[in-house]
């Protein structure tokens, strides 16, 4: 009896197939051959499991499908209609036009990333950021690494390794992606000392925990949760005073990187970087891609001698920013220096967007889409671990199940469209929020919804 494996064509035979040959002009020959080998291996496993040998045309179709997937980047732009402004899963803060232009300018060719044009010798990439970051924060010195987790790791490793760092038990938190403050402390070699209780920590709790082995007190902002009710926390100014009375450092992990008073928009007051610096924190650490509105980065501002030591630490090189991120962060900082953040930085433009503007856009969407789309009152969320449970009034387009398609199916059709559109489902309706959609994308979104509804 002939083995079914013998019916499989060879790699060379498939490579000369009339439908596969054109791939050789789009891909390297080795890559095409590897795709063929992968498909044949999959066919062998299927035959071994009791399935029939697939015909040659089926194998060809599968190879072509593999090639199409390989040649299309899986990282694609999407339209965020979810109403979550800083959406971690969708890349957090979108960048300003100026930040994008700065990234493109330094990426097209060479740049003076680490070259001193005046002296004609090696320079340092942090010089492109420090003056700007000091200007907007009020700090003596500043530097940036690749994210805030890296900033925390660098600071603790350089300044508290094999020593104690005191933190409130209610601030030993876990944020998105399983990132835990205690775990980072452990990796840095610092020893975590938790004081107080989950809901109440007093200055005396910190004071009683200080020993000759203590290096620092640390405050971690509760960026993605909120404890309400019977609670007590120690003001930063009191922690600073206690730390300095004992010759200790005060590290303030602010997380969200807020520079603007959020209460003017009807939101809770998010602690700002300037307030932390003014209160006397020795180091303040925060993200670049949350409320700051820039690229992914971990920013450290504070005392000059401390920041200088962090720059020299070996971890600083492992965590350094690339040229495009340096350019984007500098361009973002310039918006604050020019007092144009509300107009230029997308995150703040969305937060500051007037409700009448949102309502007008929602009505245009509803008219263009037609029934069953209708307008509801809703809430836009800040997201990204910033201002937990805080929202802004908005108007949303609501679409119930329609044309035999469930709400879940409609949401999936939007996600799989070109470009993908991301909404949210509440009360068995698909909701689309104009606040988080760039006005330039309005017509594209309307067309995508029409296609998902089968129009």
Which pTM value belongs to this model? 0.90
C-alpha 329/C-alpha 326 separation (Å) is 5
The pLDDT, as a whole number, for residue 230 is: 58
What is residue 4's predicted lDDT score, i.e. its pLDDT?
83
Q: Which CATH architecture has domain 79-87+347-452?
A: Alpha-Beta Complex (3.90)
pLDDT computed for residue 177 by the predictor: 59
Provide the strand spans (E) within 114-233: 115-116, 121-122, 141-145, 164-168, 174-175, 179-180, 191-195, 214-220
Whole-angstrom CA distances from 221 to 28, 224, 252 are 50, 9, 8
Residue span(s) of the chain under CATH 3.90.1150.180 come to 79-87+347-452
What is the CATH code of the structural domain delimited by 95-344? 3.40.640.10
Q: Contact 67/299 with Cβ under 8 angstroms?
A: no
Please, which pLDDT band fits residue 231 given cuts at 50, 70 and 90? low
CB-based burial label for 363 (10 Å; 0-12, 13-18, 19+): middle
Model confidence at 221, pLDDT cuts 50, 70, 90, reads: confident
Query: What value, to the nearest 5°, has the Cα angle with vertex 150 and ends 107 and 141?
Result: 80
Burial class of residue 314, CB neighbours in 10 A (0-12, 13-18, 19+): exposed
Q: What is the pLDDT of residues 238-295, one digit of tens each?
A: 999 999 999 999 999 998 899 999 999 999 899 999 999 999 999 999 999 999 999 9
Is 337:329 a contact under the CB 8 Å cutoff? no
Where exactly does CATH 3.40.640.10 map onto the chain? 95-344
- pLDDT recorded at residue 179: 64
């Amino acid at each position: 009896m002939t083995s079914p494996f013998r019916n499989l064509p060879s790699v060379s035979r498939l490579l000369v197939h009339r439908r596969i040959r054109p791939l050789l002009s789009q891909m390297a020959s080795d890559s095409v051959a590897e795709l063929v080998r992968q498909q044949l291996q999959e066919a062998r496993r299927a035959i071994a499991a009791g399935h029939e040998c697939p015909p040659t045309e089926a194998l060809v179709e599968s190879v072509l499908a593999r090639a199409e997937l390989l040649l299309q980047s899986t990282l694609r732009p999407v339209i965020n209609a979810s109403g979550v402004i800083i959406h971690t899963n969708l890349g957090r803060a979108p960048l300003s036009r100026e930040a994008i232009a700065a990234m493109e300018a330094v990426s097209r060719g060479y740049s003076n990333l680490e070259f001193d044009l005046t002296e004609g010798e090696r320079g340092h990439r942090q010089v492109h950021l420090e003056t700007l970051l000091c200007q907007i924060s009020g700090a003596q010195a500043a530097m940036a690494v690749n994210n805030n987790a890296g900033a925390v790791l660098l600071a603790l490793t350089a300044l508290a390794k094999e020593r104690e760092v005191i933190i409130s038990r209610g601030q030993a938190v876990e944020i998105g992606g399983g990132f835990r403050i205690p775990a980072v402390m452990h990796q840095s070699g610092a020893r975590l000392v938790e004081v107080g209780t989950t809901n109440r920590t007093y200055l005396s709790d910190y004071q009683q925990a200080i020993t000759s082995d203590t290096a620092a007190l640390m405050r971690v902002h509760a960026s993605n949760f909120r404890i309400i009710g019977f609670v007590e926390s120690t003001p930063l100014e009191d922690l600073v005073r206690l730390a300095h009375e004992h010759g200790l450092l005060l590290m303030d992990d602010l997380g969200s990187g807020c520079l603007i008073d959020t209460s003017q928009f009807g939101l809770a007051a998010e602690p700002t970087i300037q307030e932390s610096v003014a209160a006397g924190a020795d180091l303040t650490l925060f993200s670049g891609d949350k409320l700051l509105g820039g690229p992914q980065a971990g920013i450290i501002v504070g005392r000059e001698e401390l920041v200088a030591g962090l720059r020299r630490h070996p971890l600083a090189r492992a965590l350094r920013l690339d040229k495009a991120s340096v350019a984007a962060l500098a361009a973002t900082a310039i918006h604050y220096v020019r007092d144009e953040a509300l107009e230029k930085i997308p995150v703040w433009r969305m937060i500051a967007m007037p409700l009448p503007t949102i309502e007008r856009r929602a009505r245009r969407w509803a008219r263009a889409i037609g029934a069953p789309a209708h307008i509801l009152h809703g809430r836009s969320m800040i997201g990204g671990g910033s201002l937990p449970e805080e929202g802004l009034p908005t108007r949303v387009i609501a679409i119930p199940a329609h044309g035999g398609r469930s709400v879940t199916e409609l949401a999936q059709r939007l996600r799989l469209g070109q470009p993908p559109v991301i909404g949210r489902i509440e009360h068995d309706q698909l909701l689309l929020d104009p606040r988080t959609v760039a006005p330039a994308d309005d017509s594209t979104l309307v067309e995508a919804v029409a296609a998902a509804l089968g129009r």
